[in-house]
Structure 1
């Protein structure tokens, strides 16, 4: 197997951009005062990203997945991200067992 130098450089550039973005965010946040409205907006980002990722797939696959997407969305309004994902996994497993899909 050969490694294309252009592909290797592209991977390195993407890795560097990712690391620099994360580090700069951690460094810059020290100079920002976060009020209650900003904190609430920042806390809404993970569930919004989760739904943006799973909604297109969940709504075109089957009834168990659609039900799990709605359950995950509902759970994301009250639970932490990991608990919301776990809720979706449990709901899809139970729905598939009951529906037989």
Structure 2
């Protein structure tokens, strides 16, 4: 099922380069630039921000472990039903 939905990035470029020509700029250069900028931004964070981020990530991982009972159950699916959108105020 994951193969049906194209994702951007160099992995997609490598998998499909024989099937059809892809734009190197949008499928390789832009994702690589985004990764470089992200790494640079992470190196500029203070120690407190890094500690808070790692703690938040660890809490999320522990919560995922609890939800999936140690990955023995599938991960929960996000459902967006019309009933769920009632909390979003409409523009007037």
User: Which TM-score band (shorter chain)?
Assistant: 0.3 to 0.5
> Using CA pairs below 8 Å that are at least 6 residues apart, which structure has the higher relative contact order?
1
Q: Name the structure where helix makes up a greater proportion of residues.
A: 1
> What TM-score do you get using the length of structure 1 for normalisation?
0.35
